[in-house]
Amino acid sequence: MNELRTLSPSRLQRLGAARIQQDSTQQQGAQGIMNTDYRISLIRELRDQQVRFAPRAKRNEQADRAESLLSELDPSKNYPYDFLFYRVTEVRPDGTGYRLIKGDDAVHDLRLFVEDITDSMNLRVEEAKEPVHTVEDLSKMFNVSTKTISRWRDQGLVSRRFLAEGRKRVGFLHSSVDRFVSQNKKRVERGERFSQITDGERDDIIDRARRIAATGANLSEVARTVATEVNRSTETIRYTIKNFDRQFPKMAVFPDQREVLSDEDRRAMYQQHNRGVSTVVLAKRYGRIRSSIVRILNEQRAIKVFELPLDYIPNAEFDDESRVDEMTADLPVAVEPVRKVRAPSGLPPYLASLYDVPLLNREQEYHLFRKMNYLKHVAAKLRAELDPKAPLVSLMDRIEKLYEQSVAVKNKIVQANLRLVVSIAKKHVDPNDDFFGLISDGNMSLIRASEKFDYSRGNKFSTYASWAIMKNFARTIPDEFKHRDRFRTSSEEIFTGHEDRRADNFSAEIDQAVRTDQIQKILHTLDQREQQIIVRRFGLDHRFEPLTLKEVGEELGVTKERIRQLESRALDKLRAAASKAHIDIPE
């Protein structure tokens, strides 16, 4: 048995140690999670070698010898690896050469060696020959935090792993603790003295922390600032604040359980932030720490991201990464430039401006539709990875950017086809019809058609869009189903019956902008819920259609009658605000 004390794999093979091989096979399944942050690869290899081949009793002896050696090493000196190997295994190493190991690195790695070796043994606490202390035991024994015990482990306190209550736990032999205390008396005394905060000192720390937290600072920022002011460690301040908050939740500096914010409050917070209100101001306004405000804002932003219309026409080429650059490239230049059509004289500015946008040829149209759908495809895939409870800001940035790019591409397609709407509207308008209202309806049909068009079938978009527009006109104009003897083709006939009596189009647009600004100002006289009701009921947000009283009630979680009451009260407030601001209210 003595000859088996040689633990290198080469010697084991020469000796044919079948019994040791069998024992090691049984032990490999019992190994815990080994440390990986060794500084010296030779000591890590020694650990692997002993865990694999050494009998359980031998490993226990090696752990004791390694800990004994730790108490003798001077971190400021260098030691030959052969010396360390021999002191741990009592065997001369083969073929390692003469290599010096820094004492600091040796102390660090031998401490890990002891923990890993004992971890592989599945040693029960009852099998230890002396008392074993847990981290919590030492924390109470020396009146220090568990964080301090963790720092002591890095500074030389040797720990081992034991099986306790069915799981692996870090433990400290009583002799290991005595050895560390005798070698680090000043460090231990300083830790004990430093942790003994008087009630007066604690109250001072809490008062300072509460004052700084009121500015919207988070726990880390408060701990750093207070630590500087009272000349204590940041960890001590953090521990003091957390311990106080646990003991006195009603007076907590950072209470975990305040009154839960309603969905309405969260939406209001997000809207205020979008209008430029800082997170510090929001933290004071809602009685939350700034990190909590940021989390809520990100969650509300994620809700908006999930509401983005990312429906698209799928295509197999979207998954071909080699074609990404081709699909996202700029609009290709037409081989044969499209001849610019001159606008007929006498057209209103809106219609005349349509002739400034060139038409798309088949290749350009195909490219834009493919690009728009590909951008939505990528955005939809990224959105599927988004966690609504812990959304990544960078991921939301990418999704929103892709969506904005897809909208920009869609706008190019729509603008190039607006003349198609006018052309079809001219054939459906009667002298008594609202021509520009008809165009507005046709434009909406054009936009919806651009989102549903499957470009891969090889058809022209104008063909698909024409049917969509005419189908909408058929619903809008009852006489569409009757046969027409003729179609109007000249602009003179159209605009004779629909003369634009406005003296100045630009003046009308300015008036509209002023009215919009006035509406926004008087809306701010309402509270958040009243604003939401008015906006949703009357369609003041262009992204949403107007809702019924019942639909708004379902959205806010109240009855239809309650919405009617709130709407009536809000309208009275708006009338009063409009009167006070001298805004004319149309009858």
Average pLDDT over residues 556-575: 87
Q: What are the start-end ranges of the H helices in 90-145? A: 103-121, 135-142
Q: Is 250 helix (H, G, I), strand (E, B) or coil?
A: helix
Instruction: Quote the mean pLDDT of the chain.
Output: 80
The percentage of residues in the chain with a pLDDT greater than 90, rounded to a whole number, is: 17
Pairwise CA distance, residues 115 & 128, whole Å: 14
pLDDT digits (tens, 9 = 90+) for 397-428: 999 999 999 999 999 999 999 888 888 888 87
Is pLDDT at 505 greater than 60 in this prediction? no
Is pLDDT at 26 greater than 60 in this prediction? no
Residue 276 host element (H or E): none
The pLDDT, as a whole number, for residue 413 is 93
Of residues 92 and 94, which shows the higher confidence score? 92
Pairwise CA distance, residues 273 & 275, whole Å: 5
The pLDDT, as a whole number, for residue 556 is 82
Task: Specify the length of the chain in residues.
Answer: 587
Q: Smallest Cα–Cα separation from 161: which of 135, 136, 188?
A: 135
Pairwise CA distance, residues 479 & 430, whole Å: 9
Pairwise CA distance, residues 46 & 54, whole Å: 11
Q: Smallest Cα–Cα separation from 436: which of 482, 497, 487, 479?
A: 497
The pLDDT, as a whole number, for residue 256 is 55
Of 10-19, 281-290, 296-305, 549-558, least confident by mean pLDDT is 10-19
Structure tokens at 384: 């599927």
Could you tell me the pLDDT band of residue 248, with boundaries at 50, 70 and 90? confident
Of residues 505 and 391, which shows the higher confidence score? 391
Pairwise CA distance, residues 307 & 301, whole Å: 10
Average pLDDT over residues 87-92: 87
pTM, to two decimals: 0.45
Could you tell me the pLDDT band of residue 507, with boundaries at 50, 70 and 90? low
The pLDDT, as a whole number, for residue 378 is 94
**Residue 124: DSSP 8-state:** B
Q: What angle do CA 452, 547, 476 make, to 5 degrees?
A: 55
Helix and strand totals (H; E) in the chain: 28, 5
The pLDDT, as a whole number, for residue 25 is 39
Which burial class, exposed, middle or buried, applies to 178 when counting CB atoms under 10 A from its CB (0-12, 13-18, 19+)?
A: exposed
Average pLDDT over residues 533-545: 78
Structure tokens at 330: 């700029």
Average pLDDT over residues 380-391: 91
Average pLDDT over residues 309-316: 90
Interhelix angle 263-274/290-306, rounded to 10 degrees, is 90
The percentage of residues in the chain with a pLDDT greater than 70, rounded to a whole number, is: 81
> 197 near 188, Cβ under 8 Å?
no
> 206 near 244, Cβ under 8 Å?
yes
Is pLDDT at 245 greater than 50 in this prediction? yes
